[in-house]
Amino acid sequence: MVKLFIPGPVDVSEESFKAMSEQMIGHRSKNYAALHGEVVPKLQQLMYTKNRVFIGTSSATGWMEGAVRNCVKKKCLNLVCGAFSERWHTITRDNGKQCEKLEVEWGKAIKPEMVEEKLKTGEFDSVTLVHNETSTGVMNPVKEISEVVRKHDGVLLFVDTVSSMGGAKIPVDELGIDVCLFGTQKDLALPPGLAFCSVSEQAFERAKTVENRGAYFDFIDFDKYAQKNNTPSTPNVSLIRGVNHQLGKWLAEGLDKRYEKHAKMAERVREWGKKNFALFPEPGYESQTLSVMTNTRNISVEDLNTKLKAKGVMIGNGYGKIKEKTFRIAHMGETTLDDINALLAMIDEILGL
């Protein structure tokens, strides 16, 4: 078995596997409704929201499509700073919605002034933002950006928190995020295949007026079923049990403790990265759940990973167009500072640092 330090999927604990191994139940049964009714409030706690939270059986990308499909009426501003935020632009366009990109160089963060500049044209009714851009290791200033969006009446904010939810505090209601989405295989430390999406009252009202919302991710349909603690189509019951287990554990331990743990791991990797390589993200915007290093020593990341795998661990190579130029170390899920220290010691030894 190879321990994963890649930014998703991440390792799943034996306990979580056990929680997911129970026999199937019918999804229209009382037992399922009880499970659904137990999980949704836990998700709301994790997200610090009173909004509706829908459980969808897909990867997180499904809800990216759902958000734009249900809520973009006029024109959407896609904030792009890497591969996943670019994906949201492609999805918006391919669903036939009017949209425009506001793009910064990879490694840079989106700044609130840039968003203000665009929104004051009055052209837009929605904005997509990737909180933690997993391809570059940039954590965008979601608080400052959401403040700008909130100043513009009738503009909705959709935020992808796929690689940060659970590892960094994202208070959805305080920030006024209209649609916030993430999935199971990143910081939640569960297998892939289930994703969540919170929907504000404003976003829900918008959806009611949008035509062609699609079928699989229709917010109105999801709401109808959610009122009965159910989903429109057969959900991934096993994963929902996993979420129930995982969130039950985290909430009992206290979420703040998790954020602290992640901050410490991030600090450790950054310190190591600065000493031996360089950090790829612009200073001040480094992610709390994964660190991206610039490959200043021109090492072969593939070679390093082969040697690491022989020792039972694996890191992430660069993503997309910065594949060779960077490498990534995730500090997500159940990873501990001890795990990180052991990993860095192995890299030091292999590279003779």
Ligand X SMILES: *Cc1c(COP(=O)(O)O)cnc(C)c1O
> Minimum distance between the CB of residue 183 and ligand X, rounded to whole angstroms?
4
Task: Sort 227 into a burial class: Cβ within 10 Å, 0-12 / 13-18 / 19+.
Answer: exposed
Q: Which residue has the tokens 């390792």?
A: 11
Q: Which is nearer to ligand X, 66 or 232 (CB)?
A: 66
Q: Which residue has the tokens 């992640």?
A: 262
DSSP designation for 226: H
How many CB atoms are closer than 10 A to CB 268?
Answer: 16
Task: At 5, list the tokens.
Answer: 């330090």
Q: Contacting ligand X (CB under 6 A), which of 146, 163, 236, 295?
A: 163
Does position 86 interact with ligand X (CB under 6 A)? The reply is: no
Q: Which is nearer to ligand X, 36 or 87 (CB)?
A: 87
By the 8 A CB rule, do 179 and 71 touch? yes
How many residues touch ligand X (CB under 6 A)? 12
Stretch that binds ligand X, among 57-65, 138-146, 308-316, 317-325 (CB under 6 A): 57-65
Stretch that binds ligand X, among 34-42, 128-136, 137-145, 262-270 (CB under 6 A): 128-136
Stretch that binds ligand X, among 53-61, 139-147, 151-159, 257-265 (CB under 6 A): 53-61
Stretch that binds ligand X, among 47-55, 59-67, 138-146, 264-272 (CB under 6 A): 59-67
Q: Contacting ligand X (CB under 6 A), which of 5, 32, 54, 84?
A: 84
Q: Contacting ligand X (CB under 6 A), which of 4, 5, 8, 273?
A: 8
> Minimum distance between the CB of residue 348 and ligand X, rounded to whole angstroms?
27
By the 8 A CB rule, do 339 and 307 touch? no
* SS3 (DSSP) at 269: helix
| Cα angle 99-104-106, degrees, rounded to a multiple of 5 | 120
Does position 207 interact with ligand X (CB under 6 A)? The reply is: no
Does position 183 interact with ligand X (CB under 6 A)? The reply is: yes
Distance CA 286, CA 28 (A): 44
Interacting residues toward ligand X by CB under 6 A: 8, 59-61, 84, 130, 132, 134, 160, 162-163, 183
